[in-house]
Amino acid sequence: MKKEIKYKAIKTSFIIAFLYVGFGTLSVLSLDPDFVFFGDWAWLGFLVSLPVSVFGFGIVYAEPDYMYLLIVTQVVVLLVFWFIVFKVLLKRYIRKNRKVINND
């Protein structure tokens, strides 16, 4: 049963982390006027995803050729954020599973 909980936590946490960091990366890229998705929405997206976008924002505005460095940085941020979300979800699923077992 513990393997099932762990697998569920891994899968769910990866989806959450991938969507959140992906949205943050797209928002950071969209702040550049030369990018395809440039628009006013990018600032709101950047603010919503600020915890995972702050390093990418610094890279975009500090480096003239930022694309590869930004992707590498955001992959590292994705892995760190995935680990954090995984730990939180795993604790939540284990706590929920204990309540179900104790009630039975």
For residue 31, the model assigns a pLDDT of 82
Q: What is the pTM of this model?
A: 0.85
| DSSP codes of every residue in 4-15 | HHHHHHHHHHHH
Mean pLDDT by 10 residues, the chain (104 residues): 86 96 90 78 85 88 86 94 95 84 65
